[in-house]
């Protein structure tokens, strides 16, 4: 074994290896008994320096445990399932931002609804007896029916477009339930 | 990404050998933690083995919310406590039952439990390692101290010492080589006695 290999093992103790060198180090530990012992002594010295007391002088559980888990299944969890701490931070931040936005929209919505009510209470509509409606709407049960098919079709198209638009553009779902049913 | 997390991900992707490296890395510390609960050294090794197997079985659920060692430490403590509970149901072979174990868990004296022999070995290794560091050239000694005692990364050490990261890495390696010679000598002496 060359000195460079030991240097890689030393860097592995410090968690400073990546890519090809990490592969090399792991390969060494799995194939070279000397490298394995060397690395364990580096680790021992590091543990002692960090103030970790030793339980017993010399033992290696690796082989026994490896043998025991030989019968255990190998896993196939994808890398994405392990969430690193920075990712967690961003995930939480995004969730918080969404929650805050929904809250703000709810407040604005309630305020504007109150304003609309005020306007509705105070405004008087102008009425003219001579005006001919473009299309007559009648109520049957709880639903409006429009006399002219063409107008009803156009209304339906508007509603479908609106629903599709709200779904695609990120507008919140409370606005998606739109119809001209009575009482809504 | 930390090497531990990289190794965990490899295990999660089906590489059982990556788990060996985690065992090699943490077995000393884990056995020491378990010895705090299970005073019998042979029994402690069995419990450590059980704890690592439990960790392997649970590793698909490890999501990196905490450091791998913290997660492993909790498994080791729980395994030790379960072991003591199971022992308490049988004719007592030791003087610590499950309730005591729970109380001991928060007690530093249990965590720091050690036999006179292990205390002697630890103290001797501490002395030898510090002596080895003091006999190193100044830049090499500084590099290993900043790494091991101050916990700095190679990049931070390079900033502090005003040298490339590659130089830091080789200085730390040289320090470890020097320490290792002394550690080996001490261990050989211990085995001969």
Q: CB-based contact (8 Å) between B126 and chain A?
A: yes
**Residue A111 pLDDT exceeds 80:** no
Smallest Cα–Cα separation from B87: which of B146, B59, B47?
Answer: B47
Q: State which residue of chain A sits closest to B63, comparing Cα positions.
A: A82
**Residue A162: CB atoms within 10 Å:** 14
Structure tokens at A91: 């995930």
Cα separation values, B13 from A86, A129, B60, B84, Å = 22, 78, 9, 34
Per-residue pLDDT, averaged over B117-122, amounts to 74
Per-residue pLDDT, averaged over B87-99, amounts to 46
Contact between chains at B180 and A43 (C-beta distance less than 8 A):
no
**B146: distance to nearest CA of chain A, Å?**
12
Greatest extent of chain B over all pairs of C-alpha atoms, in Å: 63
**B180: distance to nearest CA of chain A, Å?**
7
**Residue B87 pLDDT exceeds 90:** no
pLDDT, tens digit, 9 for 90 and up, residues B25-65:
999 889 888 888 888 888 999 999 999 999 999 999 998 88
Beta bridge partners of A144: A139
Residue B124 exposed, middle or buried by CB count within 10 Å (0-12, 13-18, 19+): middle
Q: CB-based contact (8 Å) between B127 and chain A?
A: no
At A162 the pLDDT is 55
Q: Would the CA dihedral through B115, B121, B122, B127 be positive or negative?
A: positive
**Chain B residues in contact with A10 (beta carbon < 8 A):** 169, 172-173, 176
**B24: distance to nearest CA of chain A, Å?**
6
The model scores a pTM over 0.80: no
At A171 the pLDDT is 47
Per-residue pLDDT, averaged over B154-168, amounts to 96
**A89: distance to nearest CA of chain B, Å?**
11
At B103 the pLDDT is 36
**Residue A168 pLDDT exceeds 50:** no
Please report which confidence band the pLDDT of residue A166 belongs to, taking 50, 70 and 90 as the band edges: very low
Q: CB-based contact (8 Å) between B86 and chain A?
A: no
Q: CB-based contact (8 Å) between A129 and chain B?
A: no
**Chain B residues in contact with A84 (beta carbon < 8 A):** 1, 5, 64
Instruction: Give me the residues of A, 53-92, that contact B with CB < 8 A.
Output: 53-62, 64-66, 68-70, 72, 74-79, 81-85, 88
**Chain B residues in contact with A77 (beta carbon < 8 A):** 12-13, 60
């Amino acid at each position: 074994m060359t000195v460079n290999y030991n240097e890689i093992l030393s860097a592995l103790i410090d968690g400073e290896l990546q890519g090809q060198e990490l592969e090399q180090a792991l390969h060494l530990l799995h194939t070279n008994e000397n490298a394995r012992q060397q690395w364990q002594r580096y680790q021992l010295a590091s543990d002692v320096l960090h103030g970790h007391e030793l339980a017993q002088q010399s033992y290696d559980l690796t082989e026994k445990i490896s043998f025991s888990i030989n019968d255990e299944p190998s896993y196939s969890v994808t890398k994405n399932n392990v969430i690193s701490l920075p990712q967690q931070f961003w995930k939480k931040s995004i969730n918080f931002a969404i929650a805050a936005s929904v809250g703000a929209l709810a407040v604005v919505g309630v305020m504007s609804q109150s304003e609309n009510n005020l306007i509705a209470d105070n405004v008087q509509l102008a009425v003219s007896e001579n005006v001919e409606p473009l299309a007559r709407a009648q109520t049957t049960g709880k639903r409006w029916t429009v006399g002219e098919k063409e107008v009803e079709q156009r209304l339906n198209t508007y509603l479908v477009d609106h629903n599709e638009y709200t779904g695609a553009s990120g507008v919140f779902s409370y606005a998606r339930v739109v119809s001209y049913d009575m009482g809504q | 990404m930390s090497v531990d997390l990289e190794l965990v991900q490899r295990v999660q992707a089906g590489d059982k050998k990556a788990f060996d490296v985690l065992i090699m890395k943490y077995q000393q510390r884990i056995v020491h933690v378990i010895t705090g609960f299970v005073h019998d050294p042979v029994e402690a090794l069995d419990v450590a083995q059980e704890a690592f197997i439990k960790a392997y079985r649970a590793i698909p659920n490890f999501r990196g919310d905490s450091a791998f060692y913290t997660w492993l430490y909790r498994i080791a403590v729980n395994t030790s406590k379960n072991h003591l509970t199971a022992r308490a149901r049988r004719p007592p072979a030791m003087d610590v039952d499950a309730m005591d174990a729970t109380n001991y868990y928060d007690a530093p004296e249990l965590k720091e439990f050690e036999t006179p022999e292990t205390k002697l070995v630890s103290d001797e290794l501490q002395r030898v390692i510090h002596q080895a560091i003091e006999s190193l050239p100044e830049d090499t000694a500084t590099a290993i101290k900043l790494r091991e005692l101050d916990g700095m990364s190679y990049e931070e050490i390079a900033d502090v010492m005003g040298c490339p990261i590659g130089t830091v890495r080789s200085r730390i390696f040289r320090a470890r080589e020097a320490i290792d010679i002394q550690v080996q000598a001490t261990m050989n002496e211990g085995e001969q006695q």
